[in-house]
Amino acid sequence: MHRRMDWRSVTFDWNRARAFLVTAEEGSLSAAARALGMTQPTLGRQVTALEEELGLILFERVGRGLVLTQAGTQLMSHVRAMGEAAVGVSLAASGQAQAASGHVAVTASEIYSSWLLPQIARRLREVAPGITLEVVASNEIRDLKRREADIAIRNARPEEPDLIAKMVGEDEGTFYASFDYLSRLGAITGPADLARADFIGFKDNEDFAEALRKRGIPVTPASFPVLASSHAVHWEMARAGIGLGTVPCGMGDAASDMRRVLPDVRFRYPVWLVAHRELRTSPRVRIVWELLADTLPGLLHQPK
């Protein structure tokens, strides 16, 4: 039997909850105001009003940004669930989601395809069961103009003039290692200590090695005993205790058998949605685009 909700227990304005959620995900009032198409003072008043309604301090100001308090962090999971429900309401209310049908191909890196897109696919089945989702898992940049995919998730803004793009958030990655490998490696207190570490490399490894050297990590070709053309294989090699692997923090932190090696050394990068301009006029592509744009920010590890 469906349990009736006690509406008297809902003592806050849901619009203010949305203002809180977007501010937390964007990291500042100015960025959140841009994302919502509001003025910064109006957004600030909504967040302040929510704090007063709940009797909680949700943010602390750090420099030009905002950081969640403990109370704000505890509230986030509940408000994110509200946000996901709101996306479903919007799609259902459009009258298109349930009726839409056809094939939509989304391309993303191997890591995002295996880590993030299963959650997107599950949500899509709920709101638009007539759409067939094809996941094109590839670390190569797929040509949207040749229709190799309808929508791409990329970590750089596209330069092609006939593509449309939307930055949906930022992600960050760092080094992870198995507990067994760390015990053999010994104490690591700074980047210079990683001179004695082994790393799992990539197919085109010199760019990766140069990025490490720029961060003060003195790697040489001998630092990479294993190279992997697949990011999924790269991660499994690290989990096997062969050396240090590099993956998004949200994915790495969720692995109970792995630990961050240097928590303060992180690599940040944007996350963009990209599509061919013509394809946005397709209802089924637009539904998947909107679902990605609304859902991805809550799934990514948001840098502070």
Evaluate whether residue 2 is within a structural domain: no
**Average pLDDT of every residue of the chain:** 84
pLDDT digits (tens, 9 = 90+) for 120-162: 999 899 888 888 999 998 877 655 656 678 899 998 888 777 7
C-beta separation of 23 from 75 below 8 A: no
Say yes or no: 162 and 177 in one domain: no
Number of domains in the chain: 3
Q: What is the CATH number of the domain that holds 232?
A: 3.40.190.10
d(CA 33, CA 31): 5
pTM for this one? 0.65
Evaluate whether residue 1 is within a structural domain: no
Residue 175 confidence (pLDDT): 95
Say yes or no: 182 and 203 in one domain: yes
Say yes or no: 262 and 181 in one domain: yes
Is the per-residue pLDDT at 18 higher than 90?
no
pLDDT digits (tens, 9 = 90+) for 243-278: 999 999 999 999 999 999 998 888 888 999 988 776
Domain interval for residue 45: 7-93
Residue 149 confidence (pLDDT): 82
Say yes or no: 239 and 164 in one domain: no
C-beta separation of 272 from 156 below 8 A: yes
Say yes or no: 161 and 287 in one domain: yes
Widest distance between CA atoms in the chain: 65
Residue 2 confidence (pLDDT): 46
